[in-house]
């Protein structure tokens, strides 16, 4: 048998070692620095789902959009009600046919490099965006024929065909310094004489004139930007001196950072449960405001049994919407129609199905699959990376079971769903998706969701591909007159409800936790006052308008 | 010296003395997961060859010419053994190298094909649903995705052998440039974790074995059980809760705090670079940032190594050569350090190497929780985004790590246990 080699002595050694580690640890670590600032600095930190692609010609997601609005200026700036106001352009005019747009620029605007912003830079930014073709380019590609500098402060865009929302889309034309970009091109590249067009450099730096300039980019970790002292529009007394995007949405990390006052505003990916926990941290509040997004159930119109309009209508009337918006996602308004209600041109009077099992059964009886439901179970996919969607899927499964429709709920990784959405025969009968348009008009949503040119992507899993609908959307988008355009948008929404290619489930509701004790955030104030909050992602975190009250940071 | 003496080994020695002769026979022993057939003599020979025993081994035949006594004989024998050893080591390394190349090429083909046949259009995913089809096609062409798989592989492997793994769809930067940034972060983390689990695991194992069956041993064993059974990310969450959320003792995200100037990049390891450049504040800050993720990552391996070290030491304690050492009156500390610990570390070292490689592969969740800009997070995110070049490159790097570590472990184990020949 083994004998102990001296338990008491070893025990003493062990205890002494642990004590030594604790003492050394305490001495070497001390207290971690918490709070918002170093010696009067005011840092605004927010989390995001991923690191941003900071080149406006490359990135266009939420993280990228947030950095773009802070690093760059645009000709016009979006207002909360969906209209735009002058920014770098002080005024503009358009030709009677709506094809030529002329913008007059503000003088004396400087880029972060100190160079002056001119019409040449604006024309260059549009040309570069169209050439690279990624990021925000899809808003302009195929629509803008040319961009030219008339003189130092006048720029002219010529469109290929009239595009009514052109002015609204210009909030996404971020202006880069031509000289700075061309000084950083790498050759050879994909763009001939322009080499890589500065794409490598602009992923980690900026060439903008916005209120903040990039100080440090740490791949996979964070981006730090500091105030640009020469910003033409100045700052508020308590505007952040620097902003930091932290590339994580991990609930435990966000909660810890919030509790230490090392994070001011959370991302929008926190679950309801995580937000509840965040709201319990002293000084932290959870803000919720309507977003421009909508969550809907796409129905594949090219695959049985959802190829039958009566079957689709039966589904629309069978969903228990009240349970969805009251119990599962409290606060989210029920969708009205198929277009987000925050967008200009939304038709609030469109006939929207409500929970009515009798009516659902009535439609089902008219369906060609009425007597063979057991042969046609409905495949319902939800995106595996968004766990909250499973709750919706299970609710729909239970709702449809009441009218005799069997639903196979399928948890599908995003990559698989994107792949399956490429063909009508592989696209699931039904899928739960959310979408936010990039400019605040109903046309943006109608175009991306139902114009045939987008078929084969996850945005069009209903596979409508209706030439008449295409024409109607194109006609509306090419209408320069605002009122007439809005009327056309509303008519299209009525036609859509007849087709029922999707079921509008709920309006988007953005939820973020923030340090209400020491952050003065216009979006929060507007939401509390029941006023509209900007519906464009990125702009809600326009840091120049946010104030940090350092004296109110809890000790 | 060999008489009955009081102390912790008294009873044990009495029992062993009675059965000493019978224990010289062949016995199958299970050491560190390997059954070996050994005799008392076969244990003593290597010890004698290394000068651990000054007297002639029991089974050692007198050398021809009467030169079989003392250091002179042993020295000649050693020179021959060393020459043979070096030769066999080189042959072994050569064979392993060839085999490793074969493994890496095979693996690169397998992972290349798998990454491309799983569902999901990587370019469409990267560019978004609204990107014009013409742009999507241009990028497919630029990435050779419009070609057949063998042609794609040709392009990829041609670049890879030159260190060019292509462009990442996720970051839009060359994968090699991304690896240069994220690999040192993980190497630093894994190295720190390796030091923690290597040192602490062995120390706890020794402590546990030294106090076998005591309260201390039981506590360590219990903690080790929990440590082995608990995934690293649970420790990560726990540490973040205790040291970040409740006590605010340590930084919880990133590699360096705000306002601390980063040292110039030499190795990419912030602690090393800050020391090399004499930037002590940066070293202290970088070290603080390492503690929570590093220890969380080390916990599982540390527990395993503590258990293995303890088991191995306790088993070896029963062996004849240890009995003989005590019988010769060699001090306990010397026996523990020189005769017991070294052979007992063989299984630990074997596991240690694999643990280091596994730590690299398993660091993903820990890096995610601590927002550590490391290689594991980069690789897994690339897999989720179906970033083909990232997937292939990271798998190759992990494979290369495993292969290298395995070879190193074999060499170290061979050094520790001369019975193991590198053939």
- Candidates B135, B155, B134; CA nearest to B143 is B155
The nearest CA of chain B is from the CA of A270 a distance in Å of 14
Tokens linked to B159: 């670049």
What's the pLDDT score for residue A258? 96
Q: Which residues have a Cβ under 8 Å from the Cβ of B129 and sit 6 or more positions away?
A: A448, A454, A457, A458, A459
Q: 């390394």: which residue's tokens?
A: B93
Report the Cα A17 to chain-centroid distance in Å.
52
Shortest distance between the Cα of B147 and any Cα of chain A, in A, equals 19
- Tell me which chain A residues have a C-beta less than 8 angstroms from the C-beta of B336: 5
- Closest-CA residue to B57 (of B68, B72, B69, B45): B45
pLDDT for the residue numbered A469: 96
- Is B157 touching A (CB cutoff 8 A)? no
Contacts of A374 (CB under 8 A, 6+ apart): A406
Q: Could you identify the residue written with the tokens 């004698």?
A: B48
Tell me the pLDDT band of B11, cut-offs 50, 70 and 90: very low
Instruction: Test A7 with B211 for CB contact under 8 angstroms.
Output: yes
Q: CB distance from B277 to chain A under 8 Å?
A: no
- How close is the nearest chain B Cα to the Cα of A106, in Å? 32
CA-nearest of A282, A241, A329, A304 to A36 is A241
Q: Write out the DSSP string of B208-238.
A: HHHTTTSHHHHHHHHHHHHHHHS-HHHHHHH
Residue A224 tokens, joined: 């730090």
Average pLDDT over residues A323-342: 90
Q: Which two tokens stand for residue B197?
A: 């689990």
Q: Which residues of A touch B180 (CB under 8 A)?
A: none
**Residue A321 Cα, gap to closest chain B Cα (Å):** 28
Determine, for residues B129 and A457 on separate chains, whether the beta-carbon distance falls below 8 Å.
yes
- Considering chain B, what is the average pLDDT of its residues? 78
Quote the tokens at residue B121.
Answer: 């259009």
Of B127, B251, B318, Cβ closest to residue A134: B127
**Token digits of residue A296:** 């809907």
Interhelix angle for B70-117 vs B40-49, to 10°?
100
* From B132, B213, B368, residue closest to A141, measured CB to CB: B132
Q: Name residue, tokens 């326009």.
A: A542
User: Is pLDDT of B20 > 50?
Assistant: no
CA B225, CA A227: separation in Å to the nearest integer?
52
- Residues 323 to 352 of B: which have CB under 8 A from any A CB? 332, 336
What is the share, in percent, of chain A residues with pLDDT greater than 70?
Answer: 93
The DSSP element (H or E) to which B109 belongs, if any, is helix B70-117
Closest CA to A515 of A138, A201, A112, A45: A45
Contact call for residues B167 and B389 (beta carbons, < 8 A):
yes
Which of B120, B135, B249, B380 to mutate to test binding with chain A, by most A CBs within 10 Å of its CB?
B120
Q: Give the other-Cβ count within 10 Å of A319's Cβ.
A: 24
| Under 8 Å between Cβ of A129 and A117 | no
Which residue among B130, B336, B374 places its CB closest to the CB of A138? B130
How many Å apart are CA B298 and CA B296, to the nearest integer?
A: 5
The DSSP 8-state label assigned to residue A553 in this structure reads S
Q: How many CB atoms are closer than 10 A to CB B106?
A: 11
Question: DSSP class of residue B167?
Answer: B
Q: Cβ–Cβ of B171/A190 closer than 8 Å? A: no
Q: For B251, which of A4, A32, A38 is closest by C-beta distance?
A: A32
SS3 B262: coil
User: Has residue A434 got a pLDDT over 60?
Assistant: yes
For the cut 90, the answer to whether the pLDDT of residue A436 exceeds it is no
Give the burial class of B117: count Cβ atoms within 10 A of its Cβ; 0-12 exposed, 13-18 middle, 19 or more buried. Answer: exposed
Contact A11 B245 (CB under 8 A): no
Q: Do A221 and B255 touch (CB under 8 A)?
A: yes
Q: How confident is the model at residue A24 (pLDDT cuts 50, 70, 90)?
A: low
Residue B172: its chain A contacts at CB < 8 A? Answer: 53, 55, 58, 199-200, 203
Mean per-residue pLDDT, A92-111: 95
Alpha-carbon span B166 to A204, nearest angstrom = 19
Q: Which of A38, A256, A418 sits opposite B244 (nearest CB)?
A: A256
Question: Which of A1, A9, A10, A200 is best to mutate for the B interface (most B CBs within 10 A)?
Answer: A10
CB A438 within 8 A of CB A396: no
The predicted model gives A98-116 an average pLDDT of 97
Residues B119, A246: C-beta atoms closer than 8 Å: no
User: How far apart are the C-alpha atoms of A303 and A260, rounded to whole Å?
Assistant: 52
pLDDT in tens, B218-264: 999 999 999 999 988 899 999 999 999 898 889 999 999 988 888 99
Q: Which residues of A touch B217 (CB under 8 A)?
A: 4, 7
Instruction: List residues bridging with A46 in a β-sheet.
Output: A245, A265
pTM of the model: 0.81
Contact B372 A28 (CB under 8 A): no
- pLDDT tens digit sequence for A455-513: 888 999 999 999 999 999 999 999 988 899 999 999 999 999 999 999 999 988 889 99
Rounded Cα–Cα distance for residues A519 and B347 (Å): 57
Q: What CA–CA distance (Å, rounded) separates B233 from B237?
A: 6
In A249-354, alpha helices (H): 251-259, 272-279, 309-318, 321-322
Neighbour tally for A397: CB within 10 Å: 16
CB spacing of A250 vs B210 below 8 angstroms: no
Q: Which residue of B has its CA nearest to A200?
A: B173
For B132, nearest residue in chain A (alpha carbons): A138
Which residue in the set B211, B249, B370 is minimally distant from A31, CB to CB?
Answer: B249
List own/partner pairs for A225-230 with CB under 8 A and 24 or more apart: A225/A67, A225/A70, A225/A71, A228/A112, A230/A110, A230/A114
The residue ranking higher by pLDDT, B312 or B97, is B312
Best mean pLDDT range from B14-18, B119-123, B376-380: B376-380
Any bridge partners for residue A290, and if so which? Answer: A509
- The minimum CA-CA distance between B63 and chain A, rounded to whole Å, is 39
């Amino acid at each position: 048998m083994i004998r102990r080699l001296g338990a008491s002595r070893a025990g003493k050694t062990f205890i002494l070692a642990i004590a030594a580690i604790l003492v050394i640890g305490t001495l070497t670590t001390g207290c971690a620095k918490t709070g918002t600032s170093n010696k009067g600095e005011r840092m605004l930190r927010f989390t995001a789902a991923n690191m941003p692609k900071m080149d406006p010609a490359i990135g266009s997601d939420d993280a990228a959009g947030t950095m773009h609005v802070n690093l760059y200026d645009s000709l016009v700036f979006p207002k909360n009600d969906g209209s735009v106001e002058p920014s770098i352009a002080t005024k503009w005019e358009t030709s009677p046919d709506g094809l030529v747009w002329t913008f007059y620029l503000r003088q004396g605007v400087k880029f972060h490099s100190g160079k002056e912003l001119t019409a040449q830079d604006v024309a260059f930014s549009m040309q570069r965006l169209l050439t690279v073709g990624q990021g925000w380019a899809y808003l302009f590609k195929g629509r803008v024929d040319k961009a030219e500098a008339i003189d130092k402060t006048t720029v002219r865009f010529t469109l290929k065909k009239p595009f009514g929302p052109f002015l609204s889309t210009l909030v996404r034309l971020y202006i880069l310094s031509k000289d700075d970009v061309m000084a950083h091109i790498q050759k050879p590249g994909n763009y001939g004489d322009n080499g890589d067009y500065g794409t490598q450099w602009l992923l980690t730096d900026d060439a903008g004139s916005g209120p903040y300039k990039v100080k440090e980019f740490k791949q996979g970790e964070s981006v730090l930007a500091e105030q640009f002292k020469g910003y033409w529009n100045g700052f508020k007394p308590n505007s952040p001196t620097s902003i930091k995007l932290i590339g994580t949405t991990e609930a435990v990390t966000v909660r810890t950072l919030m509790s230490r006052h090392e994070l001011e505003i959370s991302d929008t990916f926190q679950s309801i449960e995580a937000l509840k926990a965040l709201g319990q941290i002293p000084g932290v509040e959870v803000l919720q405001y309507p977003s421009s997004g909508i969550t809907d159930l796409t129905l594949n119109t090219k695959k049985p049994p959802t190829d039958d309009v009566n079957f689709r209508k039966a589904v629309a009337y069978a969903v228990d919407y009240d349970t969805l918006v009251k119990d599962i996602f409290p606060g989210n308004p029920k969708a009205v129609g198929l277009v987000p209600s925050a967008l200009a041109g939304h038709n609030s009077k469109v006939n929207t199905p409500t929970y009515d099992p009798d009516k659902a059964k009535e439609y089902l009886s008219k369906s060609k699959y009425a007597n063979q439901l057991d042969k046609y179970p409905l495949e319902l996919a939800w995106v595996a990376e968004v766990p909250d969607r499973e709750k919706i899927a299970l609710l729909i499964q239970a709702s449809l079971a009441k009218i005799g429709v069997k639903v196979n709920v399928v948890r599908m990784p995003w990559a698989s769903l994107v792949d399956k959405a490429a063909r009508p025969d592989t696209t699931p009968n039904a899928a739960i998706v959310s979408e936010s348009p990039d400019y605040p008009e109903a046309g943006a949503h109608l175009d991306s969701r139902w114009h045939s040119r987008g078929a084969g992507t996850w945005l069009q899993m209903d596979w409508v591909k209706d030439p008449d609908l295409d024409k109607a959307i194109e006609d509306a988008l090419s209408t320069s007159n605002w009122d007439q355009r809005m009327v056309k948008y509303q008519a299209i929404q009525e036609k859509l409800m007849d087709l029922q290619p999707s079921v509008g489930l709920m309006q988007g509701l953005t939820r973020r936790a923030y340090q209400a004790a020491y952050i003065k955030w216009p979006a929060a104030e507007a939401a509390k006052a029941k006023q509209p909050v900007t519906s464009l992602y990125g702009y809600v975190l326009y840091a120049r308008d946010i104030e940090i009250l350092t004296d109110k940071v809890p000790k | 010296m060999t008489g009955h003496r009081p102390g912790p080994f008294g009873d044990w020695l009495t029992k062993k003395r009675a059965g000493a002769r019978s224990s010289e026979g062949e016995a199958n022993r299970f050491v560190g997961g390997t059954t070996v057939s050994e005799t008392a003599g076969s244990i003593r020979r290597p010890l004698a060859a290394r000068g651990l025993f000054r007297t002639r081994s029991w089974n050692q035949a007198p050398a021809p010419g009467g030169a079989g006594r003392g250091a002179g004989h042993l020295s000649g024998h050693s020179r021959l053994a060393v020459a043979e050893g070096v030769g066999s080591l080189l042959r072994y390394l050569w064979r392993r190298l060839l085999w490793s190349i074969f493994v890496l090429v095979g693996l690169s083909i397998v992972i290349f094909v798998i990454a491309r046949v799983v569902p999901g259009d990587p370019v469409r995913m990267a560019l978004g649903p609204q990107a014009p089809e013409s742009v999507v096609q241009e990028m497919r062409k630029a990435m050779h995705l419009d070609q057949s798989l063998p042609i794609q592989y040709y392009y990829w492997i041609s670049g890879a052998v030159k260190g060019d793994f292509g462009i990442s769809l996720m970051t839009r930067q060359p994968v090699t440039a991304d690896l240069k940034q994220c690999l040192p972060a993980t190497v630093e983390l894994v190295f720190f974790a390796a030091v923690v689990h290597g040192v602490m695991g062995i120390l706890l194992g020794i402590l546990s074995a030294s106090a076998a069956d005591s309260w201390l041993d039981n506590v360590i064993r219990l903690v080790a059980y929990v440590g082995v059974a608990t995934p690293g990310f649970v420790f990560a969450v726990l540490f973040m809760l205790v040291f970040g959320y409740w006590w605010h003792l340590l930084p919880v995200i990133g590699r360096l705090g705000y306002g601390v100037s980063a040292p110039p990049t030499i190795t990419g390891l912030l602690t090393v670079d800050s020391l090399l450049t004499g930037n002590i504040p940066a070293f202290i800050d970088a070290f603080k940032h390492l503690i929570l993720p590093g220890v969380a990552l080390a916990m599982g391996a540390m527990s395993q190594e503590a258990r293995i070290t303890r088991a191995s030491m306790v088993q070896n304690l029963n062996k004849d050569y240890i009995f003989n050492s005590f019988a010769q009156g060699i001090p306990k500390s010397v026996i523990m350090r020189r005769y017991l610990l070294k052979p007992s570390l063989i299984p630990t070292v074997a596991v240690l190497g694999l643990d280091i490689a596994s730590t690299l592969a398993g660091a993903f969740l820990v890096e995610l929780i601590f927002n550590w800009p490391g290689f594991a997070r980069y690789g897994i995110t690339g897999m989720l985004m179906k970033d083909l070049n990232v997937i292939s490159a990271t798998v190759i790097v992990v494979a290369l790590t495993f292969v290298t570590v395995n070879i190193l472990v074999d060499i170290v184990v061979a050094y520790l246990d001369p019975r193991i020949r590198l053939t």
